[in-house]
């Protein structure tokens, strides 16, 4: 079971095992509200720590309830007005390459106020638990969870693997795995995790993932998919925007994380920017499912969008096209665009950043062959 360990000279430690994953999450119907489930220790630790830092004034602005509306249309875009993030967030670093090396002189997460750290996540396997109890030292994977001082939504935090290792913004298998496991540790299906590569609106070149709570349903949770390599958890999204989709339940996390990492490594080597989004979702299917299947959220859907790189490009005035926008969550920077944008407008902006159909299909074939050869 998960537990918290306090040390006066160290951040709070959140220790968990596979036994802490929540597998009984579902909607009451395909498009209805979430069925209420008690918050987990993970949820209460994130939310209490985040709220405490907000009350202590550690953020760049106070985030209240955001104005939210669902854009009319088949995509169900969730639009939110978040003017202050567009104004107050730290200026993004100059990015010249998807493979750009870490630069200690630039801002990185070793330079933050230590009070921004909520806790450290440490996974303890059965073997490590045995070593721990026998008095032997072990070195588990350590993930530092800190508040994002320019939040998108409630609970917006950053997951930074071993900050002192100074890893560039390139996904690793362990970072992907802990991202998926964070979703499984939450009983709130509105908890999402995502990643922006360099050239895909990542603003800091120091490995990190984003996590936050968004109550509204996103279409990606139940969007139909086409099987590509289902034995490796790989599918293709059958709706806009074109992307790859992985799916895993609690017992397959490590295997699927490895396959995702093979894909993102391939993209990095090919200098292809990408965004990734993890959310509770129903099992993959290429046709209309029954209500019971549509309501299930026991697994995690991980979307990967290869996209056109943006280096030094001017930011959009309405919203930037990054991990949450591709998933259907649109934080608008100004009131006019928030009030007047239509689904057609939104799709037109997103279209400028995603790969053309022919290029995407060629890449999909390359990635499928690459995974088959492994």
Q: Are strands 273-281 and 191-196 parallel, antiparallel or unpaired?
A: antiparallel
Give the span between the Cα atoms of 190 and 210, in whole angstroms.
Answer: 14
Give the span between the Cα atoms of 66 and 155, in whole angstroms.
Answer: 13
Residue with tokens 């360990």: 5
Angle CA 59–62–63, to nearest 5: 110
Q: For residue 167, what are the β-bridge partners? A: none
The answer to whether the CB of 2 falls within 8 A of the CB of 16 is: yes
Q: For residue 234, what are the β-bridge partners? A: 229, 246
Could you tell me the sign of the dihedral formed by the alpha carbons of 249, 252, 254, 257, in that order?
Answer: negative
**Cis-peptide, bond into residue 47, ω within 30° of zero:** no
The answer to whether the CB of 50 falls within 8 A of the CB of 118 is: yes
Q: Is 62 one of the catalytic residues?
A: no
Task: Give every CB contact of residue 334 below 8 A, 6+ residues apart in sequence.
Answer: 83, 86, 317, 318
**Exposure string over 31-68, b if 16+ CB within 10 A, otherwise e:** eeebeeeeebbbbebbbebbeebbeeebbbbebeebeb
Catalytic residue among 75, 156, 206, 208: 208
> Which residues form the catalytic set?
208
């Amino acid at each position: 079971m998960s537990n918290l360990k306090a040390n006066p000279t160290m951040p709070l430690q959140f220790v968990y095992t596979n036994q802490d994953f929540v597998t009984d999450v579902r909607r009451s119907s395909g498009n209805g509200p979430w069925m209420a489930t008690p918050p987990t220790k993970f949820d209460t630790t994130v939310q209490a720590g985040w709220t405490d830092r907000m009350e202590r004034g550690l953020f760049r602005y106070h985030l209240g309830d955001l104005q939210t509306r669902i854009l009319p249309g088949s995509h169900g875009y969730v639009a939110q007005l978040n003017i202050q993030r567009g104004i107050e967030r730290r200026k993004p670093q100059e990015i010249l390459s998807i493979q750009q090396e870490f630069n200690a002189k630039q801002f990185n997460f070793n330079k933050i106020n230590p009070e921004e750290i909520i806790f450290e996540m440490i996974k303890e396997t059965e073997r490590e638990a045995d070593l721990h109890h026998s008095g032997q030292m072990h070195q588990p994977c350590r993930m530092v969870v800190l508040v994002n001082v320019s939040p998108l939504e409630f609970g917006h935090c950053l997951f930074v693997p071993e900050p002192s290792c100074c890893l560039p913004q390139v996904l690793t298998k362990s970072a992907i795995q802990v991202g998926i496991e964070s979703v499984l540790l939450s009983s709130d299906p509105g908890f999402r995790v995502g990643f922006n590569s360099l050239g895909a609106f990542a603003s800091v070149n120091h490995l990190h993932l984003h996590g936050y709570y968004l109550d509204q349903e996103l279409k990606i949770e139940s969007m139909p998919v086409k099987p590509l390599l289902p034995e490796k958890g790989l599918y293709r999204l059958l709706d806009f925007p074109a992307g790859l989709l992985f799916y895993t339940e609690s017992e397959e996390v490590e295997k699927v994380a490895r396959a995702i990492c093979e894909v993102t490594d391939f993209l990095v080597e090919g200098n292809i920017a990408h965004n990734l989004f993890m959310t509770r979702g129903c099992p993959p299917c290429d046709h209309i499912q029954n209500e019971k299947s549509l309501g299930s959220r026991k697994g995690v859907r991980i979307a990967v969008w290869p996209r056109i790189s943006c280096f030094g490009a001017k930011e959009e005035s309405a919203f930037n096209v990054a991990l949450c926008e591709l998933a259907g969550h649109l934080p608008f920077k100004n009131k006019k665009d928030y009030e007047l944008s239509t689904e057609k407008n939104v799709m037109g902006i997103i279209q400028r950043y995603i790969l053309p159909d022919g290029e995407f299909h060629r890449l999909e074939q390359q990635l499928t062959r690459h995974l088959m050869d492994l």
